[in-house]
Structure 1
Amino acid sequence: MQNKQPLTLVKIGGNIIDDAKELEHFLSDFSKIDGHKVLVHGGGKSATKMAQSVGLTPKMVDGRRITDAPMLDIAVMIYAGEINKKVVAQLQANNTNAMGFSGADGNLIVSEKRNHPTIDYGFVGDVKKVNSPLLETLINAGITPVFCAITHDKNGQLLNTNADTIASELAIALSEVYEVTLNYCFEKPGVLTDVEDENSVITQIDSNLYAKLKDEGAIHSGMIPKLDNCFNSLSKGVQKIKIGHHKMLKNADAICTSIQL
C-alpha cells in the first residue's frame, strides 16, 4: 500500500483573528508549513462586536451561541466575508495559493439544523458530510483551502457551525487519503490546569486523564467540546493532534498539548 502524503490542518481561534499583529505572525508561520495544508478559522468575537454595533444582543446557552436569523446574517458577513477574504489575501501575500470557502461552496460541507429537545439553537448546523473528492482535487492542485464557520443544508439554508467541529470533521474525512496532523491554535501554549498560569501546560492528555481532569473541574467550559472533537478525530483515523500557540507550527520542540487515545 502506498504511503499517504502528509497534510497539516490548522484551526485558529478568535483571539488570534482579533489581533492584527498576531494574525500576521500566524499566517506567516502557516505559509511556511511544507506540503498540503488546510486552514479553518473562527471569528465569534468579531461577530459579537458587529452584532452589538447594530443593536443586536448575542445570546449564549452553556457557552454555545444561539443563531437567530439576524445573527446568521452577521455571522455570514463576518466569517465568510470580511475575515475569510482578509486571511486569503494575506496568505496570497505570503505566496500561499489560498482559496476561501464556506461549506456551501462546491457543496464541500453539508450540515443539518441542530435539533435539541429543550434548546432552540436557531440556524446552527451539525456536520453530516464532507465532499472529500472535490477537496482532494483542490489540495492536489496546489490550493490551500481556507474554511470559515459557515456550512449549508443543501436546501438553500446557510448554517452557523462550530469551527472546532468543522476542523475535526475535515480532518477525519481527509485522513482517508492523507496522513493528517490536526493543530488547534490559540493564544495559550496548550491545555492548562490553571488558566491564569501559562506554565501549567498539560503536555499530554489521553482519554483516561481527560476523564479525570473533567471530574476534578480542571478542564471545563469551552475546552470540553474542543477535546471531545480531538478524541473523536483520533478514533476515526486522524494521525496526530496538538493544541497550543501557533509557534508550535514552526518549532517542533515548542511546548504544547499532545492528544492521544
Structure 2
Amino acid sequence: METLKIVKIGGHIINDEVALNAFLDDFAQVTSPKILVHGGGKSATKLAQQMNIEVQMIEGRRITNAETLDIITMVYAGNINKKIVAKLQARNNNAMGFSGADGNCIVSEKRPVQTIDYGFVGDIKKVNTGNLKILLNQEITPVFCAITHDENGQLLNTNADTVASELAIAFANEYTTELYYCFEKNGVLEDVNNDDSVIETIDTKNYQTLLENKIISDGMLPKLTNCFHAIHHQVEKVHIGKSEMLLNKNLTHTTIQK
C-alpha cells in the first residue's frame, strides 16, 4: 500500500516564524501523500488576553466557553490555518485548509460533564475519509486545525494530537499510515533538562517501566496515549521529534512501536 504521512506540529513551531518556515521547508519536500494538523493554543490565549476574556485552564486543559470557542475558531481555523496554507502554496505544495466541519470530515460529541465541565470540547466519534481521498489523489495536502463539529451545527474545540491520531487510524485500511508529532525537542526525553537524553524506542513493555519509574514528564503523557492508541489501531509507525525526521529517518528521535 502507498504510504500516507499524518504530521502534527506543536505550538512552539507555530508561534515562532523562523521555526514554522523551517518546518514547512521540510514538510513541503515530503513527496508521499500527507496531511498536516495544527493547534495554536498560545496564540488563542494571547488574543483572549488582549480582548480581556478570561482564560481558564484546569490540569493544563483549556475550559472552552462560548467566548473562548469564538476566539479559538478565529485563531485556529482562520489566522493560523490560512497562513500555513499560503506558506505551503509559496513552496509549490498545493494545500487546502480544513476544520472537521468542512466536508463533514471529523465528527465529535461534546465531552460529557463528569468532575469537570470542559465546555465546548469535542471527543472524536468518526472520521469521514471520502472527500480527503479525492484531494490526496489530486496531490492536494489537507491542513487541519483542531476544530471539529457535532453534525448539529455546533463547533467543538478538539485536541490536535487526537485529531492527528484519529486521522491516521481512519486511513490505516487504505494506506500504510505513519504518524509524526513534530515539536521543538529531539524526542521523548529521559531527562527534561538534557535535550540529548532521547529515548529512541518506546514499546508497550518498556513504556510501563518508564511510567512506573516516573521517567516521562507529565506533559508528554497525553501525547503518548494518542501514540499507543494509534499503534494499536493499525497505524504502522509513530515518530516524535524535530521536523527534520520527516526527511531523515536516521535523525535521532523517538519511535513508538508495539
Aligned-partner Cα distance in 2 for 1:65–1:216: 28
Describe the superposition over 1:178-232 as per-residue Cα deviations: whole angstroms up to 9, x where unpaired.
1111100000000001111101100000112112212222213221111011111
Aligned partner letter, 2:182: C
Unaligned runs of 5+ in 2: none
Aligned residue number for residue 27 of structure 2: 30
CA contact (8 A) 2:192 2:217 kept: no
Aligned residue number for residue 113 of structure 2: 116
Secondary structure class of the residue paired with 1:222: helix
Aligned-partner Cα distance in 2 for 1:60–1:221: 16
Unaligned runs of 5+ in 1: none
Aligned partner letter, 2:173: E
2:5 aligned with 1:45: no
CA contact (8 A) 2:12 2:184 kept: yes
Aligned partner letter, 1:163: A
Aligned-partner Cα distance in 2 for 1:200–1:226: 18
2:257 aligned with 1:245: no
Aligned equivalent of 1:56, options 47, 53, 66: 53
Aligned partner letter, 1:237: Q
Aligned residue number for residue 187 of structure 1: 184
Where in structure 1 do 4 or more consecutive aligned residues deviate above 3 Å?
none
Aligned-partner Cα distance in 2 for 1:158–1:145: 19
2:137 aligned with 1:140: yes
CA contact (8 A) 1:114 1:124 kept: yes
Secondary structure class of the residue paired with 1:100: strand
Aligned-partner Cα distance in 1 for 2:245–2:232: 23
Aligned residue number for residue 236 of structure 1: 233
Query: More displaced, 132-141 or 156-165?
Result: 132-141
Query: More displaced, 163-172 or 248-257?
Result: 248-257
CA contact (8 A) 2:189 2:197 kept: yes
Aligned residue number for residue 84 of structure 1: 81
Secondary structure class of the residue paired with 2:7: strand
Aligned residue number for residue 94 of structure 1: 91
| Offset, 1:50 | 0.7
Which aligned pairs between 1:14-29 and structure 2 lie closer than 5 A? 14-29=11-26
- Count residues in correspondence: 258
Aligned residue number for residue 260 of structure 1: 257
Aligned partner letter, 1:27: L
Aligned-partner Cα distance in 1 for 2:219–2:196: 20
> What fraction of aligned residue pairs are identical, expressed as a percent?
59
2:2 aligned with 1:5: yes
| Offset, 1:126 | 0.4
CA contact (8 A) 2:35 2:143 kept: yes
Query: More displaced, 51-60 or 67-76?
Result: 51-60
| Offset, 1:249 | 1.2
Secondary structure class of the residue paired with 2:235: coil
Aligned-partner Cα distance in 1 for 2:74–2:206: 40
| Offset, 1:116 | 3.4
Aligned partner letter, 1:188: K
2:203 aligned with 1:206: yes
CA contact (8 A) 1:214 1:220 kept: no
